[in-house]
Every structure is written in C-alpha cells, then in structure tokens.
Amino acid sequence: MRTIICPHCDMTSEIPTMRAEQVAQCSRCHQVICKQTYYTSSSMLALSICALLLLEYMISFLYFFFINFVLIKEKK
C-alpha cells in the first residue's frame, strides 16, 4: 500500500499494489492520481537500440572534437 496525495484537492489516499493498465482515481474529485503502465518487451528493445545509437553518436562526436582540439593546439 502506498499513500498518494491528490494534486487537485490534496486528499490523501491509500493505493494498493496495482496491476498493469489499472488506474487509481481520487474518491473526492475523481481525477486520475496514479496510472500503472508497463513497457512491453518490443518497446524496451526499441528504447535500448535508440540509446545505443545515441551513445555511439556521442562517443564519435567527442572523439572528433578531442582530435581537432589536439591538432589545433599542435599547430600553435
């Protein structure tokens, strides 16, 4: 059980452990205060591949920046 405070009306509520795709609503103002979602394996794979591609781009960018910095210092 978790205690959650509604951001709309400041009512505290005890929320039990929720399964995927369940929604908890405030009993006073009926606003959604908690929504349980899980990533599927295919979406996790897509996010991981994107992170690896961005990491490769960042490392190559830093490598070329460092090489150019060293070459410019050597010319002076």
- Residue-wise pLDDT for 13-36, tens only, equals 898 888 878 889 999 999 998 888
pTM for the whole structure: 0.46
Task: Indicate the SS3 state at residue 6.
Answer: coil
Q: Is residue 51 part of a domain?
A: no
Which domain does 30 fall in, by range? 2-35
- Looking up tokens 């910095």, which residue turns up? 69
Within-domain flag for 19: yes
What letter would DSSP give residue 25? E
**Contact criterion met (CB below 8 Å) for 26 and 11:** yes
Structure token pair of residue 49: 């591949």
Question: Does residue 71 fall inside a structural domain?
Answer: no
Q: Using CA atoms, how far apart are residues 35 and 6, in angstroms rounded to an integer?
A: 13
Question: Does residue 53 belong to any structural domain of this protein?
Answer: no
pLDDT at 76: 62
Residue 25 lies in a domain: yes
Residue at 72 is within a domain: no
Terminal-residue alpha carbon distance, the chain: 66
